[in-house]
Structure 1
Amino acid sequence: MTPDCMITVSSSAEAVAVTPYMLGFHPTDSLVVLGLFGRLVDFVVRYDFPPPDHPSALEEAAELVAAQGAGRVIVLGYGPPGPVSPAVLELAHMLREARVRVEDTLRVHDGRWWSYESRGPAEGTACSLGLAAGAVFQGLVALPDRKALVAQLAPLEGEAGREAEAATVRARARRASLPDDAARRAGREAIREAERIARSGGEPTGDEYAWLNVLLAEQPVLEHGIDRTSPERWRARLWTEAVRRAEPTQVAAPATLLGFAAWRAGDGALARVAVDRALQAAPGHRYAAILDRLLGAGIRPSTLVSMRPLPPRGRRRRRPARGRAIP
């Protein structure tokens, strides 16, 4: 569920139909938990099957799901019965031990699904795409798999890629002519202008994207972007394009903003892909690492007041903190 997209589920068949649209892609070899309040989808999380040498992985997943406080959950496993059945049943058992109401446990494979809780046809039940009409109507899409989601952040190629490189060269020369304070002011202005354009349905020019990516290297500029992030979908589109146009040394900042925007919008799959991209480009990136921990802990955006790290000991803030920061 996102603030501007509300999906309801009233049966296991509907759960199977809408889950790919909630994730943003059709899962394979995956464990998925759909959390519900009444008929409303509150959250959806996906896990890889735990490796044999990490038996506690399912216990960790159960703890995180239980911490969300959903009224009930549906556990789905995607793949053949060999790896799926023991993982689904064990996770469901752990959730029930944690006092989570498990409404159904399902296996999905090759366009059909089976329930472990109720008897159905041996050949399974066909997945009904028509039941996902509500998700499609609200603008959700389901890519073929997670690789397709990752590919959406791939760098521009061909002539478009060469144009982006030339724009970056111009932006760096422009930045070199500015003192640091002026560059930071320009960065904040560039963020607000890009947001204004994207909010109205437009798209910044190649030079505007390049200027934005160059200035995001300034930490105060990146923090300004983080502070302004809210759940609107146009923000994800804006920062996705910024990531695609960024040079390898610039990727971490726009990818972090994309991850934060996707997380705020309830798109955990895109947030995870964006954070992975940021940390791959810059393993020690402070804000990408913070968001990585938030995603790993299953923390909801509504519980977070500030994403800023705590200041060093002995350093006093000029303004009182707005809330508890994440260390």
Structure 2
Amino acid sequence: MTPSSILLTSPDDILGAVPYLLGFHPADSLVVIAFAGRGARGRLRVTTRWDLPFPPGALDQLVPLLRREEVTHTILAGFGEGTLVTPAIDEAVRLLTDAGIGVIEALRAEGSRYWSYVCNQLECCPPEGRPYDAVAGEVAARATIGGLVALPDRETLERSVAPVQGGARAKMREATRLVAADVRARLIGTPDPDQVPGEFVAEGLARVRRSVERFHGRGRLPDHEAARLGVDLAVVRVRDEAWTLMDDDTQDTHIALWADLTRRLEPSFVPPVASLLSAAAWRRGDCALAGIAVERALAADPSYSMANLLARGLRALVSPEILRRRMPTPEELDASMGPPKMEWLHPMLSLLDDHTLLTR
């Protein structure tokens, strides 16, 4: 089921669709579903969510976002107690009405019941609310048949990219130690240091392409290959090449690959892969996963520039379409960055030194 095929004809449909539009069942949240075009078959343009309660000014970017997306009408859905949801719905309705954007339905769901802020007919919207089933409804059933998944909550989504532990972590740590020692020895022992940057970058770019192709066939990387790719991506030119390889046909593959590496790599090597995961998820319109991935990157390195760039874009509700339109090609990267330089490798060498010290 793609966004263009979702037909929402009742509050039950709306509340049944929300978890699949977000990827998880929301709690204490305001969700805005926005459409372009007139009539019942308006095209879904964007779905956004805010935690409740939100701070003053949290919705300031909502109207600019909807105008960029040429939105004509919206549906609002709040999840939680009335004291939490009603002020948020009121503020959203005010902003949208002032902007000339229609609100065709506004709902509050709590437990297994919902209330409408738009309908005042007692026969269909009684004071005690109407019962609904977010799991077994018609839209939920069609979404499940279509292969979509709605996780129980945001915490479950966070756990899906949380670091592996136990034996898997020990094996990955040992693989990283061996890879770090091998790469350091090779770089130190090279007879021609001037050739190092070009060879390292070229080999790293080739490994990135092979890894994407392998994951496209659902092949998980062995620990030593995952660790080696983590070292490669610590070089910005290699990371940026991986970024340029994302397109509509491969974005799901990129999400799977970078999510797997975000879980498995040692913390110091996480920022590049978590940032790539964020970019791929954002490109697909999955801003919840994109935000969680950015949090993982910044937790490992608060100064990591790509993660901070993505975080600013997510906070400003920048459309993922911008990522598609402005993505440079590998040839443009080569032209802008010039021939490989030794300074490109310095951050990676620093990580290797730190990891070697930590694992002795």
Give yes or no for TM over 0.5.
yes
TM range (shorter): 0.7 to 0.9
Judged with a 3 Å threshold, the aligned counterparts in structure 2 of structure 1 residues 143 and 301 are, in CA distance, closer, same or farther, namely same
Matched residue type, 2:112: G
Matched residue type, 1:209: A
Q: Is the 8 A contact 2:274 2:294 kept in 1?
A: yes
Partner residue, 1:311: none
Structure showing greater Rg: 2
Matched residue type, 1:115: S
Q: Which has the higher helix share?
A: 2
Deviation at 1:301, TM superposition (A): 2.3
1:192 to 201, 209, 216: 209
Q: Is the 8 A contact 1:105 1:115 kept in 2?
A: yes
1:294 to 293, 298, 313: 313
Judged with a 3 Å threshold, the aligned counterparts in structure 2 of structure 1 residues 241 and 145 are, in CA distance, closer, same or farther, namely same
C-alpha separation in 2, matches of 1:301 and 1:87: 25
Q: Is the 8 A contact 1:89 1:105 kept in 2?
A: no
Partner residue, 1:272: 291
Number of residue pairs aligned between Structure 1 and Structure 2 = 309
Partner residue, 1:7: 6
Q: Is the 8 A contact 1:78 1:107 kept in 2?
A: yes
Deviation at 1:50, TM superposition (A): 4.5
Partner residue, 2:303: 284
List per-residue Cα deviations over 1:296-321 (Å, max 9, x = no partner).
Answer: 2222222343357xxxxxxx9489xx
Q: Is the 8 A contact 1:9 1:39 kept in 2?
A: no
Q: Is the 8 A contact 1:2 1:266 kept in 2?
A: no
**Residue 251 (str. 1) matches residue 270 (str. 2):** yes
Deviation at 1:291, TM superposition (A): 1.4
Judged with a 3 Å threshold, the aligned counterparts in structure 2 of structure 1 residues 298 and 59 are, in CA distance, closer, same or farther, namely closer
Deviation at 1:30, TM superposition (A): 0.9
**Residue 219 (str. 1) matches residue 236 (str. 2):** yes
1:66-105 correspondence runs (5 A): 66-105=67-106
Q: Is the 8 A contact 1:50 1:57 kept in 2?
A: no
3-state SS, counterpart of residue 239 of structure 1? helix
1:114-133 correspondence runs (5 A): 114-119=115-120, 120-128=125-133, 129-130=136-137, 131-133=139-141
Q: Is the 8 A contact 1:197 1:203 kept in 2?
A: yes
C-alpha separation in 2, matches of 1:66 and 1:75: 17
Matched residue type, 1:58: L
Q: Is the 8 A contact 1:25 1:144 kept in 2?
A: yes
TM-score (norm 2): 0.80
List per-residue Cα deviations over 1:48-107 (Å, max 9, x = no partner).
Answer: 2345xx432233434434443223211111101011111112211111111111111110
Matched residue type, 1:14: D
C-alpha separation in 2, matches of 1:213 and 1:2: 33
Structure 2 runs not aligned, ≥5 long: 188-195, 329-334, 339-360
TM-score (norm 1): 0.87
3-state SS, counterpart of residue 102 of structure 1? strand
Judged with a 3 Å threshold, the aligned counterparts in structure 2 of structure 1 residues 318 and 21 are, in CA distance, closer, same or farther, namely closer
Matched residue type, 1:193: R
C-alpha separation in 2, matches of 1:139 and 1:266: 17
Partner residue, 1:325: none
State the superposition RMSD in angstroms: 2.2
Partner residue, 2:326: 306
Q: Is the 8 A contact 1:8 1:41 kept in 2?
A: no
C-alpha separation in 1, matches of 2:243 and 2:6: 27
Deviation at 1:2, TM superposition (A): 6.6
